[in-house]
Each structure stands twice: as structure tokens, then as C-alpha cells.
Amino acid sequence: MRLLEGKTALITGVANRWSIATGIARAFAAHGAKLAFIYQGERVKDEVEKLAAELGGGKAYECDVTSDEALAKLADDIRRDYGTLDALVHSIAFVNKEDLAGKVFKTSRSGFALALDISSYSLIALTNALVDVLNDGSSIMALTYLGATSIVPNYNVAGISKAALEAIVRYLAFDLGDRGIRVNAISAGPISTASSRQVKDFKTMLDKVESAAPLRRNVTSEDVGNTAVYLASDLSRAITADVHFVDSGYHAMGMFPKQTEP
């Protein structure tokens, strides 16, 4: 059964084939969705265009989400090429590498502003630009992480940005609810991507989750993609303003279990 047949989705945040957004795009395509993509800069252009061609030949638009002019152009391009959208996937985040280690109170004012602008405000900016392109009953989803509500050493201002992002999800859900547009977040467990590997001691995070999570495994971008399909489909038409954890149950652990020999 193809749950997204006849639906059109805009995917943000693809950097390469290991990106979480790539896993979501593959899952959407497998369920019949027509896809559009955005990217920023020549560095990732080839990868995004290659994925777009592989998954049905959708359009890939260059768009700087910190520019209102670029976002307005994106809306015009989507309207011209697709007409309307049924889903928007926000998988955009950026933090200066030096702000992903050490003490959070050492975060620079400019580094904090940059992280919040790109990682959090961009969801507001994208929604504002595309609100008239989104069909009633559409689904918006944003990628978040446990560091939004719990202390994850070295995640620092990235966690603060995710906390803001989750609050934005709730307020947008209220604002758009009269049109039946749902807004949710997916809190994925740690997945090895180009971005996540910038976090100091990231490998240790993977090892901790695998040993302590109820399911005793780390998650994959495919796992996240499956949840994203559900949120984009009509099966979730009464689900909004929530954070959906895809982390093998790790978020529910109050303390680590004692490790025993097999």
C-alpha cells in the first residue's frame, strides 16, 4: 500500500546519501510521493540533483533560508512547477563547530544568533513563505533531538536551538490547525551523518544508546523515514503539536542499566 500516492512534498536538508533527509525522501518516494528539494550552495548541489533524479526526477532549487527574497522566489518556483504542496520536511540545522564543545556559556553572541536563525527560525520563515502553497490538510514536520529537553554534553547551543524548534512546532500547529494542517517533530536518535559527527565524542553517544535503549540498537535514517511517511499520510490526520521519538526508546530511560556479561 502506497500511503503518499498523489501527494507532493518539499524536502529540505539533504547533504549526501547519509543524511536523515535522504532517508525520508527515499521513504516518501517508495510510497508514491512526488518530491521537490532545496539546497544551499554548490557544495551539495550535485548530490541533491542526483537524488532528485533517482527519486522521480523532481526539481531541486537553490535556496538560502536566511533570505526572505530567496524564500519568496522558492514559493513562486514551487507554485509554477508543482502548483501546491502536501508536505514540508524541515531538516535544517547549523551550529559553528566551536560551539559544539566546551561550556555553553562560552557561546558567542553571533554563534548563538546564527544557530537559532538557521536551525529554528527557518521553520517559521519556510512556513510563512509557503503557507499559501500548502494545501489544507497538509503535514509539516521538523527534525529534532533529545538534546532539546535533556542535557547532552557537547550538544550545547544545538540543543537550545532544538528546544526553540519544538516550541515553534507547537505554536505553528495552533496557528495552522484551522486549515487542518498538522505540525509535528520527529526526535531521532543519534545517526552518523556529516552534521552529527561535528559533535565532540559523537561515537560515544552511539555506543551509549545501543547499550542502554530498550531495543538495544541505534536507529537508521530508514526508521526515521518510515515515521515521516506516517506523519505525511492521512493516517495521522488527527496528530499535531507533538514530538515523535524514533530512538529505540532511549528517551524513556531514567538511568543506564547495569551492564552484565552475556
User: Which residues form the catalytic set?
Assistant: 145, 155
- Chain CA centroid to CA 249, Å: 19
Which of 124, 119, 123, 125 is CA-nearest to residue 69? 125
Identify the three-state secondary structure at position 22.
helix
The total number of residues shown for the chain amounts to 262
For residues 220-236, one letter each, b for 16 or more C-beta atoms within 10 angstroms of the residue's C-beta and e for the rest, the string is bbebbbbbbbbbbbeeb
Helix ranges (H only) for 143-184 are: 156-176
Q: CA angle at residue 140 from 139 to 144, to 5 degrees? A: 135
Which of 188, 182, 242 is CA-nearest to residue 218? 188
- Chain CA centroid to CA 87, Å: 12
CB neighbours of residue 247 within 10 Å: 24
Kindly state the greatest CA–CA separation across the chain.
Answer: 61
For residues 40-64, one letter each, b for 16 or more C-beta atoms within 10 angstroms of the residue's C-beta and e for the rest, the string is beeebeebbeebbeebeebbbbebe
- Chain CA centroid to CA 67, Å: 19
